Amino acid sequence: MPWRVRSEGLEVRVRVTPRGGRDSVDGIETLADGKRILKVRVRTVPEDGAANEAVRRLLAKALGRPASAVGLTAGATARLKTFLIEGDAEALAAQLAALTGQDS
End-to-end CA distance of the chain: 13
Reported as type and span, the H/E element at residue 50 is helix 50-62
Do the beta carbons of residue 83 and residue 55 sit within 8 Å? yes
Q: How many domains, the chain?
A: 1
Check: CB of residue 23 under 8 Å from CB of residue 51: no
pLDDT of 1 reads 85
Q: What's the rounded Cα separation, in Å, for the pair 47 and 35?
A: 27
The tens digit of pLDDT for each residue in 61-95 reads: 999 999 999 999 998 999 899 999 999 999 999 99
In a domain, 30, yes or no: yes
DSSP 102: -
Judged by phi (left if over 0) then psi (alpha if -120 to 50, else beta), residue 60 lies in alpha
Residue 104 falls within a domain, yes or no?
A: no
Amino acid (one-letter) located at 24: S
Cα 64 from Cα 31, distance rounded (Å): 28
- What CATH number does the domain containing 64 carry? 3.30.1200.10
Q: Is residue 66 part of a domain?
A: yes
- Domain, as residue range, for 48: 3-99
Each residue's pLDDT tens digit, 31-67: 999 999 999 999 998 888 899 999 999 999 999 999 9
